Structure 1
Amino acid sequence: MKKLLYISIMLVFSIVQTSQAQSVVGKWKTIDDETGEAKSVVEIYEENGKVYGKVITIFDKSKENNLCDKCEGAKKNKPVKGMVILEGAKKDGSSWEGGTILDPTKGKVYKCTLSLENKDKLKLRGYVGISLLGRTQYWERVK
């Protein structure tokens, strides 16, 4: 009986660990694909079956209070820190599809897909039109 209880507990624990490891929810250090520099920390959270990402830290202190002056609409001239830049991606198999990502330095919004390379490395592809016409960034999970 004790063996069965132990096995059941271990099975539940491994399922919980696996589901957490396969989630994009959490804090991610953004790495610029052109310079290789860490730029910010984005906290990804889930709401109504979709994921969103908010800038919570900007590493360059001289840019910490920057406004999104090139943005359009409701985000124009709003602080980048605290801004939701990733919106509406929905899990589709092993990836998250159908979302958008904002590049606050350019004020441009791109379609995006997200997938986990491993539990601590997120691949984010931003594109216009089709995925072939875009850029890929790899973000690192903040522990």
Structure 2
Amino acid sequence: MTRRFFGLALLLSLLAAAFSVQAAPNPDAVLGVWKNGEGTGMIQIFKKGDKYFGRIVWLKVPNNPDGTPRTDVNNPDEAKRKTPLKGLENMRDFTFTGDNKWEEGKIYDPKNGNDYSCQMTLVDPNTLEVRGFIGVSLFGRTDVWKRQVKK
């Protein structure tokens, strides 16, 4: 009887330990290439120092009707309007804050030339919620991105 009790106690202890161990946070889990929710572009998220950035690496419509590469025509800075969209760094300065979240970043929308505060949440290994907002995150929009390529 005591053997059975100790065996059961050992099994319960092992199960409790297994369920209490959580995966260590991985700040680099967001690295890779992601397709935006509309399917019109892909953004490569990369790291510089301890901050995370993104650049446009693919566009569904890469060229203008005349065959020239699309540029940042809506940029409020006239000097940047000839910058190609492909290769444009449109996400910057994200910090990993734990719980699969990257916050305190900025995202630039070349469709309208506006910059927004932004945060990212990794929902699962292949789904990223990107929320752009003005002021507080309550006033914003979330786009769901799908992983295309891991780093």
Q: Which residue in 1 is equivalent to 2:73?
A: 69
CA-atom RMSD in angstroms: 2.2
Structure 1, unmatched stretches of 5+, are 1-14, 33-37
Which whole-Å deviations, capped at 9, do the CAs of 1:45-97 have from their partners, x for residues lacking one? Answer: 01111110010110124458211111134643311111000100000012101
**Percent identity, aligned pairs only?**
28
- SS of match in other structure, 2:57: strand
Q: Which residue in 1 is equivalent to 2:45?
A: 44
Q: Write the mapping of 1:1-143 to structure 2, written as runs, cut at 5 A.
A: 19=26, 23-32=29-38, 38-63=39-64, 65-73=69-77, 75-94=80-99, 95-143=101-149
Structure 2, unmatched stretches of 5+, are 1-22
Give the TM-score taking structure 2 as reference length.
Answer: 0.73
- SS of match in other structure, 2:29: coil
Distance 1:93 1:72 in 2: 34
- SS of match in other structure, 1:142: strand
- SS of match in other structure, 1:23: helix
Judge conservation of contact 1:71–1:77 (CA < 8 Å) in 2. Answer: no
Which structure is larger by alpha-carbon Rg, 1 or 2? 2
Judge conservation of contact 2:62–2:86 (CA < 8 Å) in 1. Answer: no
Distance 1:81 1:72 in 2: 18
Distance 1:56 1:108 in 2: 20
Judge conservation of contact 2:47–2:53 (CA < 8 Å) in 1. Answer: yes
Give the TM-score taking structure 1 as reference length.
Answer: 0.77
